[in-house]
Structure 1
């Protein structure tokens, strides 16, 4: 095992620390098969949408050959829209599982969403083939309607916002984050020196990006605490009511602690926006579908909130990079831009010059459309937007859920069961009862190694362990000796000593092994304590 400088590790991103630990785990001294429970990449995929995508692309290639067929079939042409829905129906076999799904979602989109079927099928077929730029740049027309409906059914808990929400599909949730931080700066919604509140613990980049020199934002830590079931205390919501707090960033359910905001917390958010009406909220809800009856902050404060969502975790699509930004058509972001423009002639001139390159009325350009344009540095706005195959696949993932509207989606229920089994397996191997509170997502679990030491061996051992050994030493030895890689929680804003275990990326039996290896290493430290 390579020796590691603990102080140097504390200054690094926890993801980079985990990468170093992974290298050491692969040559662990006990010659164990390495187990990486540090990363959140799921080890399952949704097959139905992928097979449907392939079938639609195959159908589209056949359609394209009807207009041009050259080079012994290697060159085909374009797709004719008129009558294409009926031709797809004729092409499909209702006795085939994939074909039946396509027929089912066509029926749903016609009967429940009232979408023109030739328009929809042509958009899907042309989009799957991918031979045209995305038009409109922000989102394909029917894709946006489907994504909006999916968000409403899956995340809004009964609130009807689909018809009043604009969606910008992005290259995963990570691109959504980058685009939003940049746009908040470009639009003068956030300025250098502004105070932003961050609900910690949180996905590490939300802590790192605001500190970069190009943003220079001041961070206010409004933490959730374990003693309150990883919920924010009321006093923290009071801090958000201060008008000097310009923004509030949250991952909901949280990462690493896997807790959704409670109903009490959502009610407090309503109080915050009433008291601080210009506060902007970004909520990243990638884990929302893993919580029963989940409700997003966007649904209780839509005017002030930008919703970020990714299909990566639920549908096993991290490699596809499928995410989105959603904004209400009546939003505070546009209002702040209008206010800045009216109050500052230099900003008005800046906006007019910048956006007149792409629209006739630059001052009327919405925040979310500015985000699209600025994602391609304005000059490439005409080629902006997520690739059409990615957009179609997002819509197909959404439709696997929407065809079950009003009932439980078997795929989502299966995904929750998978992580629940792993969660219970891990904690049973540790000899501890797991937490099953209503807000628990179970995609990750966290524990404090020092608290575990006390539970296992008493307060005196905990004091010895905490005073003589860094939590990173324990994590490093867990990887280098036993071959288990966990994620450091302190890098996400927890107190020192917390480890995050992903319940998404290993078979259930590996969580038994993980728990036993953690217990065995802790027992070794206890032996040192007894011998001192």
Structure 2
């Protein structure tokens, strides 16, 4: 067994880099299966909108062949708008038994009959988009794609309480790209400066702690801690840190990662009150990727729309991490644009020069459009934008969810995740957490609480004082093949381990629980031996 001192060299690594070392240890024995609950890549995915995507590709290819059809070398042209709906209906009739075709027929009906959009205009955009035969135009997001995805986003994030026309979207390469672009544009436009304070809701996805500290930004971090004893909600005493005018940005993941709990109505109301009465200048950046797993979810964007930049990724809910699909949403009247208008004249002149190639009216250029330009170093703005096939798949995912009137897909996923959590804790021998508003996508295993529930407070105190809890994770990986990530890497203040409940099957989570129980039993045996012999000193795992 590897010694504790050999593990210590990994203590400064990000959990996602540390994971590779844990995987190496966990897979070190050929006769044992490795159970990697470290990364949150789901092992489930939405199949119907993918079937629709591939069937649409066949239709689009046939549309392309209508041009240059006299040539035998396999050359096609751009799809034609005139008559495209009739040709699509004929395609559907001829291929109605093929998987995904009925979904496409229903999708077109929803777009035309429920959203009131032009069927021919939508079909032409989707057909050309899936062929990838033209640059994304507009670069921020394709016209019909934005309208469909916006409708989906506001239904899921705001319960359909906001008019669609109040929101602008920028389609980009997932949530990670969104955060990177947002911070870069805030810096380039003088809305944050080195030394400014950035409040961060914690525990949190590790890179969100690391990014503000980078030399690029040099922000002072202000942790806003969720309280485990309060079901991972933010106490007023923590949210009141936002009252400090030196805090320029509040970055939060909602529902949280790793606690996986949505912000409750009281927390939303408290932040909205702070913004309305004391901090109308506060910029909020909320990553709501897990919102679609929560019951009756409401984003901060729904209560502080003018102060909030909403980030959403399709990756987890639709099982599409490899597609890199995300959007940034801003209100058409927002604090960012007001802050740009209030910049000193000298800074405005610098920005006039930066964006001069885009428009003669730089000062009228909205932050979200600057975001698009900055994502391609401004000079390459004309080739900015998410690839059009990616936007088409995004639209089909959105339509799939919009047409699911009974939320059957959502209910199935939530049930799947919850069963996995129950299996893990059942075989560990303690009750599963019962936090209100939990998505069950991750679980944060509180080591002290588990030790207390299994063998009492004295044993828990012994374990926490005799054993480096981070070292336990290495021992777990090496001896049982189970990969968990340290809670401290996500800014959790209590000794804990994060397990993703999305990427293994139910029996495997039961096996993880059983392996952790065996490890706990082993430590308890050591504890009893130490008490019996009345020896002292630090135990080494």
Q: Quickly name the TM-score band, shorter chain normalised.
A: over 0.9
User: What is the rounded CA distance, in whole Å, between the counterparts of 1:248 and 1:377 in structure 2?
Assistant: 25
- Correspondent of 1:272 among 271, 274, 289: 274
User: What is the rounded CA distance, in whole Å, between the counterparts of 2:59 and 2:2 in structure 1?
Assistant: 54
Which stretch of structure 1 is more off in the superposition, 283-292 or 151-160?
Answer: 151-160
1:6 deviates by 4.0
Cα contact 1:25–1:479 (8 A) shared by 2: yes
Which residue in the other structure is 2:143 paired with?
141
User: What is the rounded CA distance, in whole Å, between the counterparts of 1:447 and 1:400 in structure 2?
Assistant: 34
Q: Does 1:473 align with 2:471?
A: yes
Q: Deviations over 1:62-107 (max 9, x none)?
A: 1111102477453222211111122111110345552111111111
- The TM-score normalised by the length of structure 2 is 0.95
Which residue in the other structure is 2:537 paired with?
none
Which stretch of structure 1 is more off in the superposition, 89-98 or 468-477?
Answer: 89-98
Which residue in the other structure is 2:238 paired with?
236
Structure 2 residue runs of 5 or longer lacking an equivalent are 531-541
Which residue in the other structure is 1:330 paired with?
333
Which residue in the other structure is 1:165 paired with?
167
Q: SS at 2:171's partner residue?
A: strand
Cα contact 1:65–1:73 (8 A) shared by 2: no
Which residue in the other structure is 2:394 paired with?
394
Cα contact 1:471–1:496 (8 A) shared by 2: no
Q: Deviations over 1:285-320 (max 9, x none)?
A: 000011110111100000000000000001000011
Cα contact 2:425–2:513 (8 A) shared by 1: yes
Q: SS at 1:183's partner residue?
A: helix
- The TM-score normalised by the length of structure 1 is 0.96
User: What is the rounded CA distance, in whole Å, between the counterparts of 1:429 and 1:521 in structure 2?
Assistant: 12
Which residue in the other structure is 1:195 paired with?
197
Cα contact 1:286–1:309 (8 A) shared by 2: yes
How is 1:277-296 mapped onto 2 (pairs within 5 angstroms)?
Answer: 277-296=280-299
Q: Deviations over 1:41-79 (max 9, x none)?
A: 000111111111111111111111110247745322221
1:23 deviates by 1.0
User: What is the rounded CA distance, in whole Å, between the counterparts of 2:34 and 2:135 in structure 1?
Assistant: 44
Q: SS at 1:169's partner residue?
A: strand
User: What is the rounded CA distance, in whole Å, between the counterparts of 2:134 and 2:39 in structure 1?
Assistant: 35
Which residue in the other structure is 2:536 paired with?
none
User: What is the rounded CA distance, in whole Å, between the counterparts of 1:454 and 1:437 in structure 2?
Assistant: 19
User: What is the rounded CA distance, in whole Å, between the counterparts of 2:242 and 2:161 in structure 1?
Assistant: 24
1:425 deviates by 1.2
User: What is the rounded CA distance, in whole Å, between the counterparts of 2:83 and 2:402 in structure 1?
Assistant: 25
Task: From the superposition, tell whether residues 70 and 510 of structure 1 become closer, same or farther in structure 2 (CA, over 3 Å).
Answer: farther
Which residue in the other structure is 1:14 paired with?
15
User: What is the rounded CA distance, in whole Å, between the counterparts of 2:424 and 2:83 in structure 1?
Assistant: 54
Q: Deviations over 1:334-368 (max 9, x none)?
A: 0001101xxx2321111110111112211111000
Cα contact 1:28–1:482 (8 A) shared by 2: no
Which residue in the other structure is 1:414 paired with?
412
Structure 1 residue runs of 5 or longer lacking an equivalent are none
How many positions carry a matched residue from both structures? 526
User: What is the rounded CA distance, in whole Å, between the counterparts of 2:231 and 2:262 in structure 1?
Assistant: 10
Which residue in the other structure is 2:533 paired with?
none
How is 1:240-255 mapped onto 2 (pairs within 5 angstroms)?
Answer: 240-255=242-257
Q: Does 1:501 align with 2:504?
A: no
